[in-house]
């Protein structure tokens, strides 16, 4: 399949560009650009293969069908490898596991002890 991508000279990647910071759009002189963490990874894949990246934007729910029917070569879309999805497609290793945090200044530690302390407080 890699040879097919090299022969066609493009890596066609499916995404649903509605999920910042993974994939989203920006307008640049009237042109829609696909940007975000996943788009940078996809670009690196294309660069390494020496081919042009082509992004196909679609509904999240259409992505796996597009992959299975070869409308795209690969999907990158912040998609978690659920057991159900794993039955039909082959996921890469997890490249980002989204432990996300909120942070406060250390000096405010005493004011924000639990999630409830955020209620009706001004910073």
Segment interacting with ligand ARG (CB under 6 A) among 17-25, 42-50, 87-95, 110-118: 17-25
Residues that contact ligand ARG, how many (by CB under 6 A): 9
**Is residue 38 helix, strand or coil?**
helix
Contact yes or no for 78/22 (Cβ under 8 A)? yes
Least distance between ligand ARG and beta carbon 99 (Å): 14
Query: Nearest distance from residue 115's CB to ligand ARG, in Å?
Result: 23
DSSP helix/strand/coil, 14: strand
Would you say 54 and 109 are in contact if contact means Cβ atoms under 8 Å apart? Answer: no
Identify which of residues 18 and 74 has a Cβ nearer to ligand ARG in the complex. Answer: 18
The phi and psi torsions of 12 (rounded to 5 degrees) equal: -95, 115
Site for ligand ARG in 25-54 (CB under 6 A): none
Chain positions 74 to 103 lying near ligand ARG, rule: CB under 6 A, are 77-80
Q: Does 16 bind ligand ARG (CB under 6 A)?
A: yes
- Whole-number minimum distance, CB 56 to ligand ARG, in Å? 13
* Binder of ligand ARG out of 7, 12, 19, 55 (CB under 6 A): 19
Applying CB under 6 A, the residues found at the interface with ligand ARG are: 16, 18-19, 23, 60, 77-80
């Amino acid at each position: 399949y890699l040879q097919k991508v090299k022969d066609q000279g493009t890596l066609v990647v499916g995404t649903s560009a509605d999920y910042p910071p993974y994939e989203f759009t920006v307008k640049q002189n009237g042109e829609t650009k696909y940007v975000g963490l996943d788009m940078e990874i996809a670009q690196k894949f294309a660069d390494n293969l020496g081919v042009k990246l082509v992004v196909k934007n679609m509904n999240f729910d259409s992505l796996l069908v597009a992959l299975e029917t070869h409308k795209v070569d690969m999907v990158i879309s912040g998609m978690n490898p659920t057991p159900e999805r794993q039955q039909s497609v082959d996921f890469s290793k997890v490249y980002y596991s989204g432990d996300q945090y909120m942070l406060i200044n250390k000096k405010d530690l005493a004011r924000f002890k639990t999630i409830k302390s955020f209620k009706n407080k001004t910073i």
